[in-house]
């Protein structure tokens, strides 16, 4: 055992590492209908965790929620690509641009998130070019409702709220990962 | 409200005396201060959700300077749940947490939807009034809950560990009867199982997606401690590890057998053998070990040397040879030649006792090996030992009458007298008186002087006694010489000096060394001596003793090669 022990341990650890790496690589890929994109959700969540606490405290409008989990779950898988594309565009064009966070840490995390969203959007555009990302009217309405709610508030408060609800968006993205169970 | 009542009471009480009026004014001011402070009741502090396995409990601390009687009221709201046409969130009361004294409130049922996010607020109420609401930050149960330890079951199957995992289970809220594992709500949930080997102090960590695993083959009789906790690769979650469950693998059956053999067979056998050998040793020592030792004071330090004693015997033998008395005796037959030699002769021993410092060998050499020319001078000119000799021989002459020990030195005088008588009768030789004078002057002769006065019968008796001794001594001498000088063949010569009347036979040591010289000397003696006394002596001896079977003289002849002149 004394000689076999360390070898076994190292083998098992190596195996575990490989397995986890495999999981991470498979976890990166999102299946949005027919569109397959690579998204580092773990990385996105890390960026969000850095700003989460402050953003949540800044949001004083408890009664208004832009992204509702139930609404997101109702989006069909085929239309998820389209829906995500609209959301990303919304965040990049309306939220991140108007969030004027004072702290440098939050600003950095916000810009990181914005860059990641842009890269995902580029991938989605390719899917869209191949006619794999098209939305039905129902889904377009959902997105319109979000925009309406957003516009009810002043841009700064709305941006904070939208930032605080990124968690919901990322969880929704995670649900498209493929896990072997 | 109370304040108003008091004021009215004061207003109507004008008819009262002044004393009571002042008292009421004081009370009024007191009440007023109380009312003013009532609006500023300290709100609860640190209001937050504490979620463990999705059991969401609201906790808070009392505000500053709030009495023990303070009661609290709790409300909760769902994020995004707003009233119609307004943007205000809907606050809902928790019935069980209204006007309660405790500082915790279980909101698990109200916050059970994992897709929702919640708020909660608490206010303090006491007699002074109610405080402001203290609201929590947005609470996301699914994200903030702490994962408790999973349920671990470890079983040992020979050399394998079988680990089964379950949970952690969600807190059973409301009236739900069924327990659900949190894995149901968290698809990415995994288990982190660590198996610690107590012996080698190594820990192996496994990441599990499923609920069970087997680990082996392991060593026999080794203790392993298993602990597990929930793990998320992509989420940051607080998790608690389970307590160590320690199990020991099965005992090695071979080891048991070896132990049985060792304890059951080999050890008792070894013990038995050891005890038996110990007993044997003890018995042996008891039986043979107690040898009686001679006390130290009984040890003899000066033992006589047998080799040196021999020389003394030889010397005595020489003297005895000259005592040949031709009288056959019946006692001779009884005498056994094989008998051990007679006890040490007194003359041999006495000098030793009296003068131990003088070396014995030198003393004997003087006596035995003295040259034949010097005899008359030697005894006289010798040291005091010779004198002592004389006295002892004299004394022994008296003593020997009653015993078998004879005085060896007496023989010459007896013989000489006989011979002289014969000579006088036959030749009337001139040597007689001279020899007598010389004999008297000699050491041996002087010792024999008292015997001259003895009668003839006495002499005859003496002769017999001497003869016995002579034989005894001669046999012993013969035996010893046969042993010691078997290879030396030389004739032993007897030298007879007529002047001194002394018969000299060279000692053995001299014979061995110079047999030729002794032979040469003999003719001289014959030439010098006109009368051959010894030949007569021998003739007589031989004539009488030859008749005896196995005569000692014949033995002597054979052994010593004695040349006996039979001419006359």
Interface contact A41, partner B, CB < 8 A:
yes
Q: Which residues of B touch A64 (CB under 8 A)?
A: 80, 82, 87
Question: Predicted ipTM?
Answer: 0.79
In a domain, A11, yes or no: no
Q: What is the pLDDT of residue A139?
A: 86
In a domain, A10, yes or no: no
DSSP assignment of B29-47 equals HHHHHHHHHHTTPPPPEEE
In angstroms, the CA A110 to CA A61 distance is: 21
Interface contact A157, partner B, CB < 8 A:
no
In angstroms, the CA B281 to CA B275 distance is: 10
The torsion angles phi and psi of B289, rounded to 5 degrees, stand at -80, -20
CATH of the domain at A158: 1.20.1250.10
Q: What is the pLDDT of residue B567?
A: 57
Nearest by CB: A12 against B199, B204, B234: B204
In a domain, A17, yes or no: no
First to last CA, chain B: 193
Q: Is the Cβ pair B79, A62 closer than 8 Å?
A: yes
In angstroms, the CA A52 to CA A61 distance is: 16
CA distance A145 to chain B (A): 14
Interface contact A24, partner B, CB < 8 A:
yes
Q: What is the DSSP letter of B139?
A: B
First to last CA, chain A: 34
In a domain, A13, yes or no: no
Q: What is the pLDDT of residue B440?
A: 40
Report the chain B residue with the minimal C-alpha distance to residue A149.
B87
In a domain, A104, yes or no: yes
Q: Is the Cβ pair A12, B199 closer than 8 Å?
A: no
CA distance A56 to chain B (A): 7
Interface contact B201, partner A, CB < 8 A:
no
**C-beta separation of B346 from B392 below 8 A:** yes
In angstroms, the CA B185 to CA B287 distance is: 93
In angstroms, the CA B404 to CA B396 distance is: 11
**C-beta separation of B558 from B338 below 8 A:** no
Q: Is the Cβ pair B199, A1 closer than 8 Å?
A: yes
3-state secondary structure B418-455: HHHHHHHHHCCCCHHHHHHHHHHHCHHHHHHHHHHCCC
In angstroms, the CA B363 to CA B357 distance is: 11
Q: What is the pLDDT of residue B84?
A: 81
In a domain, A162, yes or no: yes
- Residue A172: which domain range? 29-177
Q: Is the Cβ pair B206, A12 closer than 8 Å?
A: yes
Q: What is the pLDDT of residue B306?
A: 58
Residue with tokens 């998820």: A80
Which tokens belong to B357? Answer: 């410092």
Residues contacting residue B471 through CB under 8 Å, at least 6 positions apart: B332, B335, B337, B552
In angstroms, the CA A34 to CA B397 distance is: 159
Count helices and strands in chain B by DSSP H and E runs: 19, 17
**C-beta separation of B475 from B419 below 8 A:** no
In a domain, A91, yes or no: yes
- Chain A neighbours among B 105-144 (CB < 8 Å)? 115-117, 119, 137-138, 140, 143
Task: For chains A and B, count residue pairs whose Cβ atoms are closer than 8 Å.
Answer: 79
Q: Residue B287, Cβ neighbours under 10 Å: how many?
A: 8
Q: Is the Cβ pair A65, B77 closer than 8 Å?
A: no
- Chain A neighbours among B 230-249 (CB < 8 Å)? 233-236
Mean pLDDT, chain B cut into blocks of 10 residues (568 residues total): 40 48 51 49 88 90 82 90 82 88 88 88 86 88 89 86 87 76 84 89 88 83 88 81 86 83 90 96 87 75 60 52 51 47 45 45 42 42 44 45 47 50 51 42 42 50 51 47 46 65 59 46 46 51 49 76 63
Q: Residue B210, Cβ neighbours under 10 Å: how many?
A: 9
Q: What is the pLDDT of residue B274?
A: 96
Interface contact B85, partner A, CB < 8 A:
no
In a domain, A143, yes or no: yes
Number of domains comprising chain A:
1
Q: Which residues of A touch B235 (CB under 8 A)?
A: 45
Q: Is the Cβ pair B138, A9 closer than 8 Å?
A: no
B502-504 and A29-32: which strand pairing? Answer: unpaired
């Amino acid at each position: 055992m004394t000689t076999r022990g360390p070898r076994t341990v190292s083998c098992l650890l190596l195996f575990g590492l490989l397995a986890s790496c495999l999981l991470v690589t498979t976890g990166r890929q999102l299946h949005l209908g027919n569109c397959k994109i690579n998204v580092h959700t773990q990385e996105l969540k890390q960026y969000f965790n850095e700003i989460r606490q402050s953003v949540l405290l800044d949001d004083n409008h408890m009664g208004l929620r832009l992204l509702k989990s139930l609404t997101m779950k109702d989006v069909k898988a085929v239309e998820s690509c389209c829906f995500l594309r609209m959301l990303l565009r919304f965040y990049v064009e309306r939220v991140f641009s108007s969030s004027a966070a004072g702290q440098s840490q939050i600003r950095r995390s916000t810009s990181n998130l914005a860059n990641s969203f842009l890269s995902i959007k580029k991938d989605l555009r390719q899917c869209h070019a191949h006619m794999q990302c098209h939305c039905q009217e129902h889904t377009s309405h959902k997105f319109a409702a979000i925009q309406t709610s957003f516009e009810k508030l002043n841009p700064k408060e709305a941006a904070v709220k939208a930032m605080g609800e990124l968690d919901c968006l990322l969880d929704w993205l995670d649900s498209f990962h493929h896990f072997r169970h | 409200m109370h304040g108003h009542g008091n004021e009215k009471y004061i207003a109507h009480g004008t008819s009262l005396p002044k004393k009571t009026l002042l008292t009421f004014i004081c009370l009024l001011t007191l009440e007023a201060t109380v009312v003013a402070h009532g609006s500023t009741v300290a709100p609860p502090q640190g209001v937050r959700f504490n979620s463990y396995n999705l059991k969401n409990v609201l906790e808070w601390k009392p505000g500053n300077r709030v009495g023990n009687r303070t009661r609290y009221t709790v409300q909760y709201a769902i994020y995004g749940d707003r009233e119609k046409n307004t943007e205000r969130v809907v606050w809902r009361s928790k019935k069980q947490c209204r006007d309660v004294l405790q500082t915790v409130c279980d909101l698990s049922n109200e916050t059970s939807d994992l897709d929702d996010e919640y708020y909660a607020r608490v206010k303090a109420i006491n007699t002074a009034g109610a405080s402001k609401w203290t609201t929590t930050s947005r609470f996301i149960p699914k994200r903030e809950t702490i994962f408790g330890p999973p349920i671990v079951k470890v079983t040992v199957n020979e050399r394998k560990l079988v680990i089964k995992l379950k949970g952690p289970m969600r807190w059973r809220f409301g009236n739900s009867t069924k327990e659900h594992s949190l894995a149901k709500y968290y698809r990415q949930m995994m288990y982190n199982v660590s198996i610690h080997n107590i012996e080698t102090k190594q820990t192996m960590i496994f990441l599990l997606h499923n609920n069970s695993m087997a680990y082996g083959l392991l060593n026999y009789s080794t203790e392993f401690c298993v602990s597990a906790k929930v793990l998320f690769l992509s989420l940051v979650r607080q998790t608690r590890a389970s307590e160590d469950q320690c199990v020991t693998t099965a005992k090695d059956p071979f080891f048991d057998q070896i132990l049985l053999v060792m304890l059951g067979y080999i050890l008792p056998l070894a013990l038995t053998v050891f005890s038996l050998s110990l007993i044997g040793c003890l018995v042996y020592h008891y039986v043979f070990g107690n040898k009686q030792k001679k006390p130290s004071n009984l040890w003899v330090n000066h033992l006589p040397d047998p080799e040196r004693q021999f020389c003394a015997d030889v010397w005595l033998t020489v003297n005895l040879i000259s005592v040949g008395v031709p009288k056959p005796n019946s006692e001779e037959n009884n005498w056994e030649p094989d008998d051990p030699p007679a006890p040490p002769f007194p003359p041999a021993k006495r000098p030793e006792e009296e003068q131990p410092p003088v070396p014995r060998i030198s003393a004997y050499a003087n006596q035995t090996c003295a040259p034949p020319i010097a005899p008359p001078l030697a005894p006289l000119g010798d040291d005091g030992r010779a004198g002592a000799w004389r006295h002892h021989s004299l004394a022994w002459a008296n003593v020997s009458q009653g015993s078998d020990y004879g005085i060896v030195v007496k023989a010459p005088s007896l013989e000489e007298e006989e011979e002289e008588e014969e000579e006088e009768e036959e030749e009337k030789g001139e040597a007689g008186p001279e020899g007598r004078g010389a004999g008297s002057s000699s050491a041996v002769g002087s010792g024999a002087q008292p015997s001259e006065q003895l009668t003839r019968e006495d002499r005859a008796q003496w002769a017999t006694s001497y003869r016995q001794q002579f034989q005894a001594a001669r046999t012993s001498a013969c035996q010893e010489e046969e042993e010691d000088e078997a290879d030396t063949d030389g004739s032993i010569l007897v030298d007879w000096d007529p002047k001194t009347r002394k018969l000299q036979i060279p000692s053995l040591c001299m014979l061995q060394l110079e047999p030729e010289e002794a032979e040469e000397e003999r003719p001289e003696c014959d030439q010098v001596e006109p009368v051959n006394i010894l030949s007569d002596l021998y003739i007589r001896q031989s004539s009488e003793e030859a008749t005896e079977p196995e005569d000692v003289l014949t033995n002597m002849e054979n052994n010593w090669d004695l040349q006996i002149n039979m001419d006359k």
